Amino acid sequence: MPVSTTWRNLRKICNLHIFATQKLDANQHLRRNKVEQLLADVGDSSRIGESIEISTVAFKTTLNLISNTIFYVDYANPSSNTALEFRENLQVIKEELGKANFGDLFPTLAKLDLQGIRRRMAIHSKKMMNIFDKEIDNRSELRKMNDYIPAQEFLDTLLQISEDDNEELDRNLIKHLFFDLFTAGTDTTTSTLEWAMAELLHNPKALQEVRRELQQIIGEGNVVEESNVTRLPYLQDCILHFLSYSLEKLK
């Protein structure tokens, strides 16, 4: 979406209702719960000697964090058909977005869609939009009940904004906002975590120093809380290097 009044409004809504410090603090229990699930899964794999793919577990955790923030639903739940359908469509879309597209290199060929990327994107994007429609419909019906208690997740907030001013935020904008949050949020976070782990494994001195700092300040076997990060200067330096380039210049 190009920079416009609509883009600014959506950005303002996200900043106020997702990324504001107050909202992040209120949702801290969700993040802690999903990280604990991640650690439990890694521990189970370790006990049976099974290797793990960082990208897979990172994607699962990130997807659950986003879906719980928006809908208060686990989209990584293996027993849910809706969650399975959503994950499959999201994975396909991520793969298509990551492919080299002839249309980007040769704009005159873009309309021809020679690789079928646009066609496949349209198919799977529509399926994701249908899932968003169901979530919106279900919540809208609940909101009509007399004893309904407003929830804290993003969907409920957006529906309230839409009811107050439909011209500012309609259903179509809500669905496309969800689409952007899921596609961009899962891909960037998963890639960053995978890159960070790879960098640590390729820099054993940095890995050893991170472990030493954690053992000294947090303690063996204790869970790192978000509030502890400010007490871990070396880990913070590592994170800054992950986000910039690599650990090679980290002393």
pLDDT per residue of the chain (251 residues) written in tens, 0 to 9: 667 888 888 999 999 999 998 888 888 888 999 988 898 988 899 999 998 888 889 999 999 999 999 999 999 888 899 999 999 999 999 888 888 888 888 888 888 888 888 899 999 999 999 999 999 999 999 888 888 887 778 999 999 999 887 667 889 999 999 999 999 999 888 888 888 888 899 899 999 999 999 999 999 888 888 889 999 999 999 888 887 765 555 55
The answer to whether residues 178 and 230 belong to one domain is no
Query: For position 62, which CATH number holds?
Result: 1.10.630.10
Q: Quickly list DSSP for 2-62.
A: -SSHHHHHHHHHHHHHTSSHHHHHHTHHHHHHHHHHHHHHHHHHHHTT----HHHHHHHHH
Domain containing residue 212: 203-251
The answer to whether residues 179 and 210 belong to one domain is no
Query: Is the residue at 197 inside a domain?
Result: no
Query: Is the residue at 188 inside a domain?
Result: no
Burial class (CB in 10 A: 0-12, 13-18, 19+), 154: buried
Q: Which of 150, 217, 136 is nearest to 178 (CA)?
A: 136
- Of the chain, the end-to-end C-alpha distance in Å amounts to 41
Model pTM score: 0.86
Query: Is the residue at 226 inside a domain?
Result: yes
The answer to whether residues 138 and 248 belong to one domain is no
What does the alpha-carbon distance between residue 166 and residue 161 come to, in Å, rounded to a whole number?
Answer: 8
The answer to whether residues 115 and 10 belong to one domain is yes
Tokens for 105, please give them.
């290199």
The answer to whether residues 171 and 50 belong to one domain is yes
Give 181's Cβ-side CA count (13 Å radius): 26
